[in-house]
């Protein structure tokens, strides 16, 4: 089973149904086993945004019992990356995160949420159209991370290299 072929329909269903959102999260846990242990999940899918969540649990804590900086960065990475995958035809485009920059503002001592958004016009202008003549493009997305009480935990900026699969060279 290739999740990327199922992604557009599954995201559309998950946008409207808690059941299908659960199915999507189970599949993502199988495809990305690292995230399963940490409990990172997609909490909401909107027309132009995705919100991911990270629980406040021991596996995600630092030595001060706050959520570890790397867990915060990973939740932000997931929301931005999955947003791009859900908006592009994932079977046609390869995404690689080339850079992440996180500005931490507040220590998280409860579950966190990260929201990333992108307009369809930006996808067309910065990804789809340039990739008709270029081998790859880089796109930066911002993610806002807050805790469930609304405290601003961090702002993350992830830069993604996007390339059409038919232009990817896997051998030297």
- Kindly state whether residue 115 falls inside one of the protein's structural domains: yes
Higher per-residue pLDDT: 158 or 13: 158
- Kindly state whether residue 48 falls inside one of the protein's structural domains: yes
Contacts of 149 (CB under 8 A, 6+ apart): 110
pLDDT for 117 beyond 90: yes
- Kindly state whether residue 172 falls inside one of the protein's structural domains: no
Q: For the residues 88-109, what does the mean pLDDT come to? A: 91
pLDDT for 89 beyond 90: no
pLDDT in tens, 16-53: 889 998 988 888 888 777 778 899 999 999 999 999 99
- Kindly state whether residue 63 falls inside one of the protein's structural domains: yes
- Kindly state whether residue 53 falls inside one of the protein's structural domains: yes
- Kindly state whether residue 42 falls inside one of the protein's structural domains: yes
- Kindly state whether residue 140 falls inside one of the protein's structural domains: yes
Q: For the residues 85-104, what does the mean pLDDT come to? A: 90
pTM: predicted TM-score of the whole model, two decimal places: 0.89
For the ranges 38-42, 113-117, 165-169, which has the lowest average pLDDT? 165-169
Q: What domain range includes position 149?
A: 3-167
CATH of the domain at 142: 3.10.129.10
Higher per-residue pLDDT: 1 or 119: 119
- Kindly state whether residue 84 falls inside one of the protein's structural domains: yes
Total structural domains within the chain:
1
């Amino acid at each position: 089973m290739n999740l990327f072929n199922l992604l557009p329909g599954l995201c559309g269903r998950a946008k409207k149904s808690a059941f299908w959102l659960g199915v999507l999260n189970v599949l993502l846990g199988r495809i990305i086993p690292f995230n399963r242990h940490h409990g990172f999940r997609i909490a909401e899918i909107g027309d132009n945004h995705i919100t991911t969540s990270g629980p406040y649990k021991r596996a995600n804590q630092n030595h001060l019992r706050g959520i570890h900086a790397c867990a915060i960065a990973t939740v932000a990475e997931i929301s931005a990356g999955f947003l791009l995958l859900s908006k592009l035809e994932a079977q046609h485009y390869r995404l690689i995160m080339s850079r992440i920059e996180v500005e931490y503002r507040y220590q998280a001592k409860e579950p966190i949420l990260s929201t990333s958004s992108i307009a369809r016009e930006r996808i067309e202008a910065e990804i789809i159209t340039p990739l008709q003549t270029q081998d790859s493009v880089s796109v930066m997305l911002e993610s806002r991370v807050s805790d469930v009480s609304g405290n601003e935990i961090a702002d993350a900026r992830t830069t993604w290299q996007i390339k059409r699969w038919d232009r990817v060279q896997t051998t030297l």
